[in-house]
Amino acid sequence: MKVQTWITWITGILTVIYLILVIPQINLSAVMAMPAGSLGACIGALVMVMTGYGLGWVNAAADYSRYLPRHASSGGVVFWTTFSAALPCMILVIFGILLVGSNPELGQAIDSDPIGALVTILPFWFLIPFAVVAILGLVGGIIMDLYSSGLSLLATGVKIPRYVATSIDCVIMSVGTLLIVFLADNFLGPFQGFLTTLGVIIAAWAGIMIAEAFMRKEDYDQDSLYTPEGIYGSVNWESLAILAVATIVGWGFVVNGAAPWLEWQGYFMNLIGGKEGPWAFSNLGVLFSLLIGLVGHMILNRSDIAKQEGRR
């Protein structure tokens, strides 16, 4: 983890320098003159940010919290992990909005090639440091998240060594990145399609886990987690059913017009104005999926959780 520490410091310092260099590019008058968006568009943008910077990382939160001191309180672990992950994202998103609002042409260029577009507003001498930030930022995230990624693959029951599972996940992510960078017509379409499609599933899972955390009064019985004969059984069919329903409903209320291979989604959009209506790109399916996971788990699993804790 020493490598990760150095990557964090280097990318953090270079990112601050980048923000200082692009401040002159911000035109607050142009930003304030932009027309207000519709409620549906505002919600859609909010959900996209929530998915990309919140839900997209929720299954890897333990990767970050496990490096905090052992004596830290549970509340402190949750707070500092959330705060430390959210603060830089909030700053970068705000700067991104200000830059695009100041220069609409930059926003259009970012849709096709975000890294190449952002390079155009930098002084020549900072191009190499910017490349370092772009590359090390990705490497740093991958180093942290491959731990959970490998564990998730092993949790499916695949009988392979830990390093093999991590290697498989690394290859999958590398191939996906190369396809988007070199073969996709633009960046925005695959990116939005990936976020909304996977975001619906993760939102359902997150809702279930939030409900689980609220309802459980005791820690898990760790021995029972590793055997079908334990108090938790082998499969939680209610939760799987909730996940399936939430996913089906969620995909029905998202539209991916920029990704042709996902045009089948949005099959419930006629209920709120259709795929071309005012709510077309509101991404409400992600929110619906989150609520179904949360409420559904609280209703269907409350009694099971009470029985499990009563048996300990």
Q: How many residues belong to the chain?
A: 312
Q: How far is CA 130 from each of CA 11, 124, 127, 248, rounded to the nearest angstrom?
A: 9, 10, 5, 41
Contact 199, 184 (CB under 8 A): no
Question: CB within 8 A of 13, min separation 6: which ones?
Answer: none
Instruction: Count how many Cα atoms sit within 13 Å of the Cα of residue 221 in the half-sphere of its side chain.
Output: 15
Structure token digits, residue 288: 């619906």
Structure token digits, residue 238: 């209610």
Contact 120, 109 (CB under 8 A): yes
- Give the predicted TM-score (pTM) of the model: 0.77
pLDDT in the model for residue 188 = 66
pLDDT in the model for residue 305 = 85
Q: How far apart are CA 219 and CA 228, in angstroms?
A: 18
Q: How far apart are CA 239 and CA 209, in angstroms?
A: 10
pLDDT in the model for residue 153 = 77
Structure token digits, residue 281: 């790109």
21-25 contacts: CB < 8 A, separation 24 or more? Answer: 21/122, 21/123, 21/126, 22/95, 22/99, 22/121, 22/122, 25/99, 25/102, 25/103, 25/121
pLDDT of the chain, 312 residues: tens digit per residue: 566 677 777 778 888 888 888 888 888 888 888 887 778 878 888 887 887 777 777 777 666 666 667 777 777 777 877 888 788 888 888 888 888 888 878 777 776 667 667 777 777 777 777 777 666 666 666 666 676 777 777 777 778 887 788 788 778 777 776 666 666 666 666 777 777 888 899 999 999 988 998 888 888 888 887 788 888 888 888 999 999 999 999 999 988 876 677 888 989 999 988 888 888 888 899 999 999 999 999 999 888 888 887 765
Q: How far apart are CA 176 and CA 155, in angstroms?
A: 22
Q: How far apart are CA 201 and CA 258, in angstroms?
A: 20
Q: How far apart are CA 26 and CA 98, in angstroms?
A: 6
